Structure 1
Amino acid sequence: MREFIVEADGGSRGNPGPAGYGAVVLDAATGEALAEAAEYIGVATNNVAEYRGLLAGLRAARDLDPGAAVHVRMDSKLVVEQMSGRWKIKHPDLKPLALQAAGVLPADRVSYEWIPRERNRHADRLANEAMDAGRRGEQWSPSRSTAALDAGTAPDTGPAPDGGSARDAGPAPNAGTAVPGPGVAAAAAEADLRAAQAVATPSTGWAPADLGAPSTFVLLRHGETPLTPQKRFSGSGGSDPSLSEAGREQAQRAAAALARRGTVEAVVSSPLARTRETARIVAARLGLDVAVEDGLRETDFGAWEGLTFGEVRERHPGDLNAWLTDPAARPTGGGESFTETAARIAATRDELVAAYPRRTVLLVTHVTPIKTFVRLALGAPPESLFRMELSAASLSAVAYYADGNASVRLFNDTSHLR
Structure 2
Amino acid sequence: MGETTVYIIRHGECDGNRDKRIRGCVDFPLNENGVKQARALAARLKGAGISAVVSSPLARALETARILGEAVGAEPVVKEGFRNICFGEWENRLQSDIMREFPEAWRTWTTRPEELRVAGAESLFDVRERSLRELENTVAEYEGRTIALVSHRALIKPMLAGALGVAPPFFWRLHLDNAAYGVLSHTPARGFTLRALNITEHLKNLKIADDFDSM
**TM-score, normalized by length of structure 2?**
0.88
Q: How does 1:390-405 map to 2 (within 5 A)?
A: 390-405=176-191
Aligned mate of 1:379, from 151, 154, 165: 165
Measure, in 1, the Cα distance between the counterparts of 2:129 and 2:77.
Answer: 21
The equivalent of 2:208 in structure 1 is none
Q: Does 1:329 align with 2:151?
A: no
User: Which residue of the partner structure matches residue 5 of structure 2?
Assistant: 216
Q: Is the 8 A contact 2:10 2:151 kept in 1?
A: yes
1:302 aligns with one of 78, 88, 91: 88
State how far apart, in whole Å, the 2-side matches of 1:387 and 1:326 are. 11
Paired residue for 1:242? Answer: 29
Aligned CA distance change for structure 1 residues 326 and 413 (closer, same or farther; 3 Å): closer
How far apart are residue 354 of structure 1 and its match?
1.2
* Alignment RMSD: 1.7
Q: Which of 6, 12, 22 is the aligned partner of 1:233?
A: 22
* Contact map agreement 1:328 1:339 (CA 8 A) in 2: no
In 2, the alpha carbon distance for the partners of 1:295 and 1:226 equals 24
How far the C-alpha of 1:372 sits from its partner, in A, is: 2.1
Name the counterpart of 2:196. Answer: 410
Match of residue 359, structure 1, among 137, 145, 155: 145
- Residues 224 and 246, structure 1, Cα contact 8 Å, conserved in 2: yes
SS of the residue corresponding to residue 357 of structure 1 reads: coil
Higher relative contact order (CA 8 A, sep 6+): 2
Hey, what's the Cα distance between the residues in 2 that align with 1:409 and 1:326?
Answer: 25
Number of residues of Structure 1 aligned to a counterpart in Structure 2:
203
Contact 2:82 2:155 in 1 (8 A): yes
Aligned mates of 2:105, 2:198 — CA distance in 1: 29
Structure 2 distance, partners of 1:247, 1:329, is 29
CA contact (8 A) 2:127 2:159 kept: no
Counterparts of 1:361 and 1:231, CA distance in 2: 30
TM-superposition CA deviations, 1:73-103 (whole Å, max 9, x none): xxxxxxxxxxxxxxxxxxxxxxxxxxxxxxx
SS at match of 2:185: strand
Q: Look up the SS of the partner of 1:260 in the other structure.
A: coil
Q: Which has the larger radius of gyration?
A: 1
Contact 1:219-1:397 at 8 Å conserved across structures: yes
**In 1, Cα distance between equivalents of 2:58 and 2:156:** 15
Aligned twin of 1:368: 154
CA distance in 1, matches of 2:72, 2:108: 43
The one-letter amino acid of 2:20's match is K
Secondary structure of 1:335's counterpart equals: coil
**Matching residue's letter, 2:58:** L
Q: Kindly provide the CA deviation profile for residues 16-55 of structure 1, in whole angstroms up to 9, marking residues without a partner as x.
A: xxxxxxxxxxxxxxxxxxxxxxxxxxxxxxxxxxxxxxxx
Task: State the identity %.
Answer: 33
**Aligned equivalents of 1:299, 1:382: Cα separation in 2:** 18
Which residue identity does 2:10 align to in structure 1?
R
CA contact (8 A) 1:328 1:340 kept: no
Q: Secondary structure of 1:351's match? A: helix
Match of 1:251 in 2: 38
In the alignment, structure 1 segments of 5+ residues that lack a partner are: 1-14, 16-212
For residues 143-182 of structure 1, the aligned pairs below 5 Å read: none
Q: Secondary structure at the match of 1:358?
A: coil
Aligned ranges for residues 28-107 of structure 1 at < 5 Å?
Answer: none
TM-score, structure 1 as length reference = 0.46
CA contact (8 A) 2:14 2:28 kept: yes
The 5-angstrom pairing of residues 314-325 of structure 1 reads 314-323=100-109, 324-325=111-112
CA distance in 1 between partners of 2:85 and 2:113 (Å): 15
Give the counterpart letter for 1:349 in structure 2. L
2:131 corresponds to 1:345:
yes
Q: CA deviation at 1:334?
A: 1.3
Match of 1:271 in 2: 57
Contact 2:114 2:124 survives alignment (8 Å):
yes
Structure 1 residue 217: Cα displacement? 1.2
Q: Which runs of 5+ in 2 are unaligned?
A: 205-215
- Secondary structure at the aligned position of 2:147 is classed as strand
